[in-house]
Amino acid sequence: MAVMREILGSERLVLREITVADLPALGRIFGDPLCMRYYPSVKDAAATRDFFDRLAFESYAKNGFGLWAVIDRESGDLLGDCGITLQETSRGMEPELGYHLWRDHWGKGYATEAALACRDHAFSVIGLSRLVSIVSPENLPSQKVAGRVHQRREAFSKRNAAGATVERYLYISEKT
């Protein structure tokens, strides 16, 4: 059995390192058109594995952080992922706080609770001085979460995977 290293917790949640055994449950999120409606496309099992290879497994080793499994403290159920990855912004590569939950868990405050815990962990434990979230202007639910977690919002343009310029909101928190 894989060792599941707990990273941090909150009142209702435990965030731990993702394991290969978590990939089918996470793949359900990334393969669901409703969950991925603000992303370019859904991901099949291979693309989901590649995503977590880069933003979890390799990132843990290289950066000491990455996307973590969000676990319901009471039931032990995997709700989704939340964590910190390096993403391109107008300033270059920056630590970005991101989150994805299975749709049955939307609207219950889990994303905000997990994101706040990650933000605090980023500043107090990892030692980051700035943390951002990149959100599509159409993604109102994610904007609500980012607005509760971060101090301010700016607009910026970035190139997507296809090379087209897209507008995004950059939510920003800085350690005070």
pLDDT digits (tens, 9 = 90+) for 86-112: 999 989 999 999 999 999 999 999 999
pLDDT digits (tens, 9 = 90+) for 9-55: 999 999 999 999 999 999 999 999 999 999 989 999 999 999 999 99
Among 116, 66, 135, smallest CA distance to 95 is for: 66
Domain assignment present for 170: yes
- 70 within 8 A of 81, measured Cβ to Cβ: yes
CATH code for the domain of 60: 3.40.630.30
Q: Is the pLDDT of residue 2 over 80?
A: no
Domain assignment present for 132: yes
In terms of residue numbers, what domain contains 157? Answer: 6-174
Domain assignment present for 1: no
Q: Region 148-175: what's the mean pLDDT? A: 92
Among 83, 103, 93, smallest CA distance to 38 is for: 103
Domain assignment present for 20: yes
Domain assignment present for 87: yes
pLDDT digits (tens, 9 = 90+) for 54-80: 999 999 999 999 999 999 999 999 999
Q: Region 142-160: what's the mean pLDDT? A: 94
Number of domains present in the structure of the chain: 1
